[in-house]
Amino acid sequence: MSTIDSYNPADPGDLVVSVTAAGAEGVEASIARARAAQREWWALGAAGRSAALGKAAAAVEAAADELVALTVREVGKPVAEARGEVARTVAIWRYYAQAPFAASGEVHEPAAGQGLLLTRRRPYGVAGLVTPWNFPLAIPTWKAAPALAVGNTVVLKPAPEATACALRLAELAGLPDGVLTVVPGGGEEGAALVAGTDVVSFTGSTAVGRQVVAAAAGRGVPVQAEMGGLNAALVLPDADFGQAAAQIASAIAGYAGQKCTATSRVIAVGDAYEPFAEALSKALAQVTAADPAMASAVCGPVINRQALERLTDAIDGARADGAKVLAGGARAERDGWYLEPTLLADVPAEHPLASEEFFGPVAVLLAAADLDEAIALANGTRHSLSTSVHSRSLDVALAAADRLDAGMIRINAPSSGVDFHLPFGGAKAASYGSREQGRAALDFYTASRTVSVLPAGE
């Protein structure tokens, strides 16, 4: 059996956890236990499932300090963001604890004669969840909680880099045996999970996401996949440059840019280019890569050596192709996998930094002659998850929002914000299938059944 080792990205010699990988057989056994537990979990009824999810929320809240420290240590999340993630995790459990009582289905009039027509929604059985490391508590929760609320049981395979967080979250949730199971592992375990469960939700890279979608769809199993984004921020000439610079700097550098909603392309429109380039460069220069355990930290380390080398190689390649470094551009001089927040101008359109998600504190600055060109640039990607628009004119911003392809559009706000009770998802290759979060998730984890009741014979 192989082992899953998770290290602290701020202190690479610090082994956070080492566990035995589940292996394909272990995943299959966990799915079998989850299938056996599902009938009793469903039979608890709305009150029983609501109470269980409410207890999970209370347990996570009581362990908040422990979970914050673990999140900082295992994935290098700055402590202020880690506190926010734990608070969001509690809120999500509580939000979905009310869901078992929500109306589920509709009653319809028959087309002719007497009778009763109705629809009902029922759980699929076992939900297979594959989650990333960057939100090690919130993303497993926003997938698991709605699946559990409507009566499914859950088998969760977290990213190896977030193994300790997932195991502790499941332990704290305290659900009956087989209702929420964590299977540590990598590709082998993920493939076995997708091959054996009844409904699948994935968040991760585009390449793996496509494999997950193909495998689940080939079995006729409902699947949703969130696969990142190459997100843009549009800055119009009438924007408040100081406010926009602060918000976009946060969306570039916060948590070292390791969010699928982070800003990686900044599009300055018309006369905004020169003054905004200066404002954003200054804002980023004030955000230095720092120990994530520091209260003031905004940009911590990237997750591992491979991520850091991919980023620095891309920056060096862009510079060799004529790009100008307006801020950052180099590794921070400290132990751990740190990169200073970076802004590049004059990056060739064909360079990967202009067309691929790099998942780090790096953005390119682009010029657009007018709003039409800015929207064309923003839409010119296969991975359009979240876009921000910065303007004092609400009419202009809303008109732009109608023309942008992104799944989420934020006006005078960072691209990286998320409201957990609203649908979450992107456009084109950023997402596949139903939206996550909010009521959309409850629909995804249930199948609709149509019931026709006719009068019995006299």
* Cβ atoms 447, 294 nearer than 8 A: no
CA–CA distance, 90 with 75 (Å, rounded to integer): 19
* Cβ atoms 343, 326 nearer than 8 A: yes
E strand intervals along 30-182: 105-108, 116-123, 126-131, 153-158, 180-182
* Cβ atoms 180, 144 nearer than 8 A: yes
Q: What is the DSSP letter of 254?
A: G
Residues sharing a CB contact under 8 Å with residue 309, sequence separation 6 or more, in sequence order:
none
What per-residue confidence (pLDDT) applies to 92? 98
**Which of the residues in the chain have pLDDT under 50?**
458
CA–CA distance, 165 with 163 (Å, rounded to integer): 6
Q: Map tokens 């956890």 to a residue.
A: 17
Angle at 135 between CA 132 and CA 138, to 5 degrees: 110
Task: Measure the CA dihedral 408/413/414/420, to 10°.
Answer: -50
* Cβ atoms 196, 28 nearer than 8 A: yes
Q: What is the DSSP letter of 434?
A: S
Residue at 72: amino acid letter: V
Q: How many CA atoms lie within 13 A of 241 on its CB side?
A: 18
List residues with catalytic annotation. 226, 260
What per-residue confidence (pLDDT) applies to 384? 87
The radius of gyration of the chain's CA atoms, rounded to the nearest angstrom, is 23
What per-residue confidence (pLDDT) applies to 1? 72
Token readout for 255 is: 């948590």
In 10 A of CB 376, how many CB atoms? Answer: 12
* Cβ atoms 100, 128 nearer than 8 A: no
CA–CA distance, 362 with 328 (Å, rounded to integer): 9
What per-residue confidence (pLDDT) applies to 35? 98
In 10 A of CB 24, how many CB atoms? Answer: 17
The number of residues in the chain equals 458
What per-residue confidence (pLDDT) applies to 455? 86
CA distances from 5 to 129, 160, 162, 287 (A): 20, 7, 10, 31
